Each structure stands twice: as structure tokens, then as C-alpha cells.
Amino acid sequence: MTCQAGCGHRTLKVGPGALWASWMRCVRLGQKHWAGPPLLSPPGFHQDSRSLGTLTLSASPLLWEQFLVGALDGEAGLRPELRSILPRWQRSRSLGAPSTGQPDEGPSVGGLALVERRARLEPVWDELGGMLEMLSAAPLPSGRVALLADREGVILAMRSSGGDFTHHADYVRLVEGACWDEASRGTNAIGTALAESSAVAVVGPAHYAQRHHGLVCYAAPVHDPFGALVAVLDVTGPAGAADPLVLVAVASVAHAAEARLREVAWARVAAAARGGLESRLSREDGPVLVVEPMGRVSRVNAAARALLGAQGPMSVESALGVSWRALTDAALRGVALETRGPAQGPAWRVHSEAVRTAEGGSALAVLVRLEPLGARAGHAARLEPVAGAESLDAAPSAAPTPASSSSWGMPPRPEAPARAAQERSGGAPRSPTRGPGPADTVAPPEPWAALKGDDPRHRATLREAERFAPTSLPVLLLSETGTGKELLARALHAASAVATGPFVAVNCGALSPALLESELFGHAPGAFTGARVGGAEGKLAAADGGTLFLDELVEMPPALQVLLLRVLEDGSYSRVGESRMRRTRFRLVGATCRDLDAAVRAGTFRSDLYFRLQGAVLRLPPLRERTDLPELAQALLARLAEEEGVATPGLSAAVLARLAAHRWPGNVRELKTVLRLALVRAGGAPVLEVEALPPILGSVPVPAVAQAEPAPTPLVTPPALSAPREPGMSAAARPLRELEARAIQEALALSGGNVAQAARHLGIARSTLYRMAERFGITLPSRG
Ligand SMILES: Nc1ncnc2c1ncn2[C@@H]1O[C@H](COP(=O)(O)OP(=O)(O)OP(=O)(O)O)[C@@H](O)[C@H]1O
């Protein structure tokens, strides 16, 4: 790795200590900051070379004493040494900070609250931790500590380089959970960096509290891509070892952390990006450019060529006067830019959008649409050639070059899982150069295609899911039963970075607490009566390297919730009847059709687990609220007919009216069951008529009120499937239950008592079949 700041310094070691030493050497040689990976310039985003804008606060003990007795009040404008420090001390005093400092001063956060605060930084926690390691690797005999505090000044993590200073840090409460905002501690690097949103060093007696006069602290804020301050990185050591260059180092690490946050945010945008560039270019009426890293205009459509007079290689900066960084920023934030071009030419509104350069590919580009502003819109801008850039008309960049993909640094996740899913489903891989056509705009990319329907809310949820799929964030699916949660969980898995790993589903509501614990965590040989002789690994182990889908999560007993939380925290768990800790790492997708918020309020679901799971919350609409019932029914019918090996019948208008009038408490699952029965009853007729529908839909006249009735509150288990068969049960629900019970019995009869086959035939999970059979009082062969 080379310091790109120009000193020619070179190092091959990349451990935290080596990085620190190399960096400090570069800084000492007079360079403003390190520009080599991994500290700055994350893939796709070059750090600009602006100064790091730091502030160093220092003062003598005498000055501090004078301030304390009020001798400095009113003097700030007169004495230069007071200009920096006095306003900060005055601010601390107005905030009521104690000037002496006590060992137990200030609020302290512990336990779950600390876990929750850390979870807010989840997407970059690992990176920030790595940066802390590096910051703490100081070659000082006395040592120093590196800290990560959140936006309220609470220390979330601490790393020590060892040495005596660790004890001192403990003494002044530089410990996890302690709050170091200015109101609690007065002027200090963490609190002041937060208050002023800039990098600060506070040396010795410049600290407002006397207890901290033996410290030198360097802190720099970390902002998210939208400018919000999310964390502060800090290095603190003994005042005698003050070194101004450490502040430059800390500020630079904070910049690297910000870049990482941008990368994470960009990855989400990228996950949602579509390919189909050729068709996009030809479909757009207005001028469109494709800009690849680091600003190379790789393609233009006819309108852009005519308008801009584009003939050869060019950069977006020279063509539009917009930098690559500004363009990617705008794409990330979904905002439009306005520009007059490089030479105050015509005004344009520049819309930018992340796209893939090849369908299903991981290399990204920005699609730029130009909207003319003002009267001179037709005027052509001049495009300057760019040295070393490829010709616009050279080989198309549909297949990304290694250089372009690595320069963006996006892991090749989106394409690999999609291809894997395609292979699993037996589909042919898509051609990267597939021509334009309606499929480019409407067909959802694999593996989302299994989720049928064109309802806007349904599609919006899938789009959201697509964005989250490549991340490692947990996902929570909150929707009514039968809406497709498991299907969605499988799609998330197939589009994830762990798609080649296992997908393991566990229904937490289908097992007793004891069985669920052993099912999830596994058990040691002879752990309990009935335990397997050789023990069992459990689903957590089975899901290692893949996705664990916990259905009906809300049914998990509180004791298991605690254990699950721990697994999610650090991947460690132990089998039932065993003390040895094991490790597993999986992506969690949880689901429930019950009101999880209510369960948290009622105290049956732990709020810390709830918070930990809230990476992404996705809601699939209930069928009665979907606007695409006819298309969905036809798509499901086609799939069922294919399974049965018969031609797909059409749906008569009368049938569609019946379907529209039904309230569908069992959602898509119920619709599937109804269509499956109707298909059999129709006996091969080319069009399904109402006679083929089961009684609940076919023989009951459409009630006039059915359509006007307001939709019931979502996220409650529909009574038809969940409530016991009490006398008070609605009349409409009974026949459905009977219908389902009959369907189960028929499927079992057809499969000769084979539960797995019967479940497949019904299109439900085996565990669901067990659950439903139990509810209906149907005896099944033992689970064996
Ligand atoms: N959008 C959809 N397109 C095609 N089939 C669907 C869709 N949504 C659900 N299904 C089908 O409906 C049935 C139920 O789906 P799934 O098991 O995923 O629902 P669920 O919400 O997980 O149900 P539960 O909460 O009862 O476990 C399955 O047969 C599934 O294939």
C-alpha cells in the first residue's frame, strides 16, 4: 500500500499497529492525510483534498483558575489566548457542567439501553470497531484509549492499547456507558466535537472539569451520508504525551468511517438498481447519458448526442460541469442537480439514478437524464475529450471490466445470488445484451418472480425488500397469515449475500417451549428424556452461513428470546444440556401475523429483541386490500394447472365478481386453496364458472355490503384460521374452516397419508399442516 499523498512512503503490512505507524509517519512527513486504502477513498468515492478543519484547545492551569473565580468574564475579545477556550468554558458553565468532576459524575447508560444504542450503528459497527482497534494501537509506553461515542456522547465502545493509562481512564470514567457530552463533563473532545460538529483536540487544563486536566483528547465527528452526526471517534491519553498529529489521524479515520457509511447507503441504492441500459437509453425521449466510475461518460442516446454534440470520450465534469462525486451523491439522495455546464452554457436539471451496467451484474453506473431549463435549452454544450478515456462508440460496457467493478468496491452480491436462484429454478441465465421490451420495465428480477401480482403496495414492498436483500440487516415481516411471508423470506434469501448457504425455516408457534429450544439450539446426548442418542445440532447450526427464517416469532417464549438476542449479538450459543459455547452466523428473517407492537407493550415480546430485529420492516398487504386480484388469481391458476398437468382455464366474469366480493381471511393461501378445488371441480373446462367454486364463494349471493365494508385492522390473525371453533364464530368463517379441513383430508387421502406430500399438494409448509390439523382435530401419522 502506498501513501498517495505524495511522500512515496510504502508499507506492506496492514495490521492496525502498522497502519497507525505508517500513517503517523506520512503525517509527520508533512502530508495532510493518508490517501491509501482502507482509511480514505473507499471504492467509488474519492475523498476530496479539503483540509480536515481541526481545532485545538489549550490553556494554562492559571487561566483555568482565573476563569473559575470569574476573573476572565468579559475579556474574550482582549486576550488572544482566550478567544478559543473562553466561549467553550462559558458554554459548559451555562450547561451546568461540574467544574471539579466526580468519579461517578454524569449519567451512565448500561445493559439493554447500551445494546440499543449500539444497534443504531449496526450497519457500520464492525468497521467502526476495526477503526477503534487501529486508533488504540499507539506506540506509547503509557498507552491510550480509543473510544466510539454516539451522537449523545455516550461511549459505546472502548479499546485500550494497554499500559498504565487504562487505569486512569477507568478512574475518570472513560468507560462504556458513560456520557461525555458537554452538559455532563464540560469542555472535552467528545462533547465539544459533538457540540461543534468538527474535529477537536482538548489538551490538559483546557478541559472544563479539573479531574480531566491530566488528559489529552482528540475527537472527530462521523456524519451519515445525509449530514446527520451519528458518532464521534476519540483517542485519549495522558496530557504529557500530547501530539497534534494524532488529531489529524483521528479526523482522517472519521472521514473513512463517513465514507463507509456512504458505501453502505450506496449499496442499498445499488441493490435496487435495474439493468436494461440499452432499452432505457432507447426508450427515453430526452437526452440521457450513462456515466461510469469515476465520471467517464460511456454512452449517450441519440437525443443527448444531438444536443451535446458528443463525439468522443468525455467526462461528466467536462460535459455538464458536475463532478462524479456530486452525481453519485445526488443519486444516493434521490435529488436533482442544476447546472449551467462547465462554461456557463445552457441551464440543465440533472436527474441521476443508479443503474447496473449489465442486467443482473454488479457493476454500477449512474444514468443521467437531462431536463432543459430556460429558453436557451436547445443550445449545445461543448464536450471536451478526456485523456485515457474509451471511445463512446467503443465496445459497450455491458460486461463490467474488473477495473470498473473493483473501483466501485461493491461486493458481487446482487448478481451471484440472482444467478444462483436462476439456476435453482432451472431458468436460463439472462442475456446481458437482451434487447428492449416490456419485460425490462415490468418483470421483477429473479428471485422475486415467485411473488405474483401487480398491486402497487405489494410491488413497493418487493422493491423495498430488493434493497435490503444484499445487506446483512435482519428483516421483520409483519403481515397477515397467508400473505406470502415465507415466500418473501425465501426470495430475500435467494437475493442475499448468503444465497448459496442454507435457508432454514422454523415455526415458533408450532412447538412447545421446550421443544422449540431444542429444535433451535440443539441438544447434547441424553440432555433430556427422549433426547437423541447422539444429540442434535439444532437449527441455529443448520442455518450457519445462510438464512434463518423464524415464523411466528412472537410466539417465542421470553426465556428463548434472551438466548436469541445473544446469538444475534455475537453469534454464540450453547446446546441444551451442554455448557460449551458454539458459534453460528446467519441472516435472520423474522415474521409474524400478530401485532408485535402490542406484544412489546404487553411485555410478552422483549423490546430489546424487537429493536435488534428492526433492520427492515416489510409489510405485505392483505388480499382484500390488493387491487390485482384478477391477475393474481389467473397467475396462481396457471401455476396450479401446470402442477396438475392440465391446460390453464380462464376465469369467467361471474367468478371474478365472486372472488372480488369475498373477504379472504386466509389471504393468498386461501385463494390458492379455492382455485385448486375449483380446478378439480371444473373437470378440464376451458373457463372456470361459479359452479366450480366451493360453496362459500359459489352459492352465496354477493352481499351488497361486502364491498363497502371497511377493511379490518391488519396484523391480526384472521379468526377463520386462528380462533377455536366457538359458538360465537362468524357464519362466514365456519364453511371456510370446513373447506380447509376437507382439503386437508382429501390431500392426505390422495397422498396415502404422506404428510410431506399432502403439504406440498396443499401448498403449505409441513409445520403449517400439523398446526392446522391439530386445530381441526385431524389425526396425522406421527412426525417420525
Ligand atoms: N404473491 C404471491 N404469489 C404467489 N403465491 C403466493 C403469494 N403470496 C402467497 N402465496 C402462496 O400462498 C401460500 C401461503 O404463503 P406463505 O406461506 O408464504 O404465507 P405466510 O404469510 O408465511 O403464511 P403464515 O403466516 O400462515 O405462515 C403459499 O402457497 C404461497 O406460495
> In CATH terms, is domain 623-717 a member of 3.90.1170.50?
no
| Residue 144 to residue 133: CA distance in whole angstroms | 11
Query: Ligand 1 atom 26: the closest Cα is on which residue?
Result: 481
Residue 748's pLDDT band, with cuts at 50, 70 and 90, is confident
Residues 333-354, mean pLDDT to the nearest whole number: 74
Residue 107's pLDDT band, with cuts at 50, 70 and 90, is low
Structural class in CATH, domain 51-268: alpha beta
Asked whether the predicted pLDDT for residue 467 surpasses 80, the reply is yes
| Residue 489 to residue 551: CA distance in whole angstroms | 10
Structural class in CATH, domain 723-784: mainly alpha
Q: How far is the CA of 766 from the centre of ligand 1 (A)?
A: 13
Tell me whether the CATH fold assigned to 51-268 matches the one assigned to 273-400: yes
Nearest atom in ligand 1 to 765's CA: 17
Residue 366's pLDDT band, with cuts at 50, 70 and 90, is confident
Asked whether the predicted pLDDT for residue 256 surpasses 90, the reply is no
Encode pLDDT of 2-11 as tens digits: 333 333 333 3
Residues 728-741, mean pLDDT to the nearest whole number: 52
Residues 400-414, mean pLDDT to the nearest whole number: 22
Residue whose CB lies within 8 A of the most ligand 1 atoms, among 485, 487, 555, 595, for a mutation test? 487
Encode pLDDT of 17-30 as tens digits: 445 555 555 444 43
Residues 35-54, mean pLDDT to the nearest whole number: 33
Q: Which segments of 529-652 does DSSP mark as H helices, in order?
A: 539-542, 558-570, 596-602, 607-613, 629-644
Confidence (pLDDT) at 5: 33
Q: What percent of the chain stands above pLDDT 90?
A: 21
Least confident of 297-301, 513-517, 666-670, 721-725: 721-725
Q: How far is the CA of 180 from the centre of ligand 1 (A)?
A: 50
Confidence (pLDDT) at 619: 93
Asked whether the predicted pLDDT for residue 288 surpasses 70, the reply is yes
Confidence (pLDDT) at 92: 93
Confidence (pLDDT) at 233: 93
Confidence (pLDDT) at 436: 27
E strand map for 380-453: none
Residue 700's pLDDT band, with cuts at 50, 70 and 90, is very low
Instruction: Give me the long-range contacts of 557-566 (CB less than 8 A, separation at least 24).
Output: 557/513, 557/516, 558/604, 558/605, 558/606, 559/513, 559/517, 560/513, 560/516, 560/517, 560/520, 561/605, 561/606, 561/609, 562/606, 563/517, 563/521, 564/520, 564/609, 565/606, 565/608, 565/609, 565/612
Q: Please choose, from the candidates 735, 739, 733, 740, the residue with its C-alpha nearest in 3D space to the C-alpha of residue 769.
A: 740
Asked whether the predicted pLDDT for residue 154 surpasses 80, the reply is yes
Confidence (pLDDT) at 292: 82
Asked whether the predicted pLDDT for residue 427 surpasses 80, the reply is no
Task: Assign 3-class secondary structure to 513-547.
Answer: HHHHHHHHHCECCCCCCCCCCCCECCHHHHCCCCE
Pocket of ligand 1 contains residue 672 by CB under 6 Å = yes
Q: Which residue has the higher pLDDT, 759 or 215?
A: 215
Encode pLDDT of 526-541 as tens digits: 766 665 667 788 899 9
Asked whether the predicted pLDDT for residue 746 surpasses 80, the reply is no
Pocket of ligand 1 contains residue 480 by CB under 6 Å = no
The CATH code of the domain at 448-618 is 3.40.50.300
Residue 248's pLDDT band, with cuts at 50, 70 and 90, is confident
Residue 483's pLDDT band, with cuts at 50, 70 and 90, is very high
Nearest atom in ligand 1 to 487's CA: 18
Indicate the average pLDDT of the chain: 72
Residue 736's pLDDT band, with cuts at 50, 70 and 90, is low
Least confident of 31-35, 347-351, 468-472, 776-780: 31-35
Pocket of ligand 1 contains residue 451 by CB under 6 Å = yes
Confidence (pLDDT) at 271: 58
Q: How far is the CA of 764 from the centre of ligand 1 (A)?
A: 8
Confidence (pLDDT) at 367: 85
510: which 3 cell numbers? 408450532
Q: Where are the domains of the chain?
A: 51-268, 273-400, 448-618, 623-717, 723-784
Q: Please provide the DSSP assignment of 686-697 as one string.
A: SEE-GGGS-HHH
Asked whether the predicted pLDDT for residue 439 surpasses 70, the reply is no
Pocket of ligand 1 contains residue 761 by CB under 6 Å = no
Highest mean pLDDT among 96-110, 372-386, 466-480: 466-480
- What residue has cell string 491509501? 36
Confidence (pLDDT) at 324: 80
Prediction ipTM score = 0.98
Q: How far is the CA of 490 from the centre of ligand 1 (A)?
A: 11
| Residue 426 to residue 446: CA distance in whole angstroms | 12
Q: Which residues, listed in sequence order, are joined to residue 373 by a DSSP beta bridge?
A: 347
E strand map for 172-223: 199-203, 215-223
Residues 674-682, mean pLDDT to the nearest whole number: 86
Pocket of ligand 1 contains residue 444 by CB under 6 Å = no
The DSSP secondary-structure symbol of 622 reads P
Pocket of ligand 1 contains residue 484 by CB under 6 Å = yes
Q: Which residues, listed in sequence order, are joined to residue 253 by a DSSP beta bridge?
A: none
| Residue 231 to residue 148: CA distance in whole angstroms | 7
Least confident of 13-27, 198-212, 386-400, 609-623: 386-400
Q: What residues contact residue 637 under an 8 Å CB cut-off, 6+ apart?
A: 648, 649, 651, 675, 679, 688
Residue 383's pLDDT band, with cuts at 50, 70 and 90, is very low
Query: Ligand 1 atom 2: the closest Cα is on which residue?
Result: 451
Confidence (pLDDT) at 518: 87
SS3 category, 639: helix
Pocket of ligand 1 contains residue 101 by CB under 6 Å = no
Residue 456's pLDDT band, with cuts at 50, 70 and 90, is very high
Residue 204's pLDDT band, with cuts at 50, 70 and 90, is very high
Pocket of ligand 1 contains residue 551 by CB under 6 Å = yes
Asked whether the predicted pLDDT for residue 310 surpasses 70, the reply is no
Q: Which residue has the higher pLDDT, 271 or 453?
A: 453
Confidence (pLDDT) at 251: 86
Residue 341's pLDDT band, with cuts at 50, 70 and 90, is low
Confidence (pLDDT) at 461: 93
Nearest atom in ligand 1 to 762's CA: 29
- What residue has cell string 430475500? 492
Pocket of ligand 1 contains residue 483 by CB under 6 Å = yes
Confidence (pLDDT) at 113: 76
Asked whether the predicted pLDDT for residue 179 surpasses 60, the reply is yes
Asked whether the predicted pLDDT for residue 35 surpasses 70, the reply is no
Residue 171's pLDDT band, with cuts at 50, 70 and 90, is confident
Q: How far is the CA of 623 from the centre of ligand 1 (A)?
A: 11
| Residue 577 to residue 311: CA distance in whole angstroms | 73
Q: How far is the CA of 559 from the centre of ligand 1 (A)?
A: 29
Residue 359's pLDDT band, with cuts at 50, 70 and 90, is low
Confidence (pLDDT) at 187: 96
- Topology of the domain comprising 273-400: Beta-Lactamase (3.30.450)
409: which 3 cell numbers? 468496491
